[in-house]
Amino acid sequence: MLLLVALAMAAQTPKPGMAMAIPPSLPAITPDVLPGEGWLPGMHKLRGAAMVFDTWKPLRRRIAVLEDGTPVIVLSGLSEVSKPDLITVTSPLPELQLKPGDSLLRYIFRGEGYGDFWAKKRWYNALDGSFVTEADGTGCQSHCKARVTEPGRQTWWFRVRLTDQRTGWTEALNMLNPN
């Protein structure tokens, strides 16, 4: 019985290059992930005020307001994508079977160019997307083959432990400073 449950759960998780007829539904939630390079669970200090909630979900209740410099312990993170980045291919990408004019959707930017993408009915988890130039011109340095043509909307939530041992959620990404 446990084997059947494990197999059913594995079937629901997108695998790299896995066929998916339609993109993931929105909002797309990815638990247990932190943004970019340098973000690890552990002690962090706020670089500004932050609100902490009992949950990251829409029906949340504020449990604390923290001041600049307050230490918190980051326990985990979560990505909530309400709109993925729309990326247009500008040069052939034969490894993904994409040609100029084709589109990719990027759900998470994981850092160092890596991200989670959906293109042509396939899901790519932690794909090296260093071929993508960001909308502001940053990103790709060589072999640039695609460009962000419509930035998406993504919220990073952090599950934190406060100094009084309560746990909660904050979306204060720009205020947390990795140590």
Query: Do both 145 and 117 map to the same domain?
Result: yes
Give the whole-angstrom CA distance, residue 149 versus residue 31.
Answer: 27
Q: Specify the CATH number for the domain of residue 163.
A: 2.30.30.170
Residues 77 and 158 grouped into a single domain: yes
Domain that holds residue 144: 85-151
Between CA 178 and CA 40 the distance in angstroms is 7
Res 9 pLDDT > 60? no
Is 17 a member of any domain? Answer: no
pLDDT at residue 11, as a whole number: 38
Give me the number of domains the chain comprises: 2
Find out whether 35 and 77 touch, Cβ atoms under 8 Å: yes
Residues 43 and 128 occupy one common structural domain: no
In this predicted model, what pLDDT tens digit does every residue of 159-176 receive, in sequence order? 999 999 999 999 966 556
Residues 142 and 170 in one domain: no
CA gap 44, 1 in Å, rounded:
42
pTM: 0.81
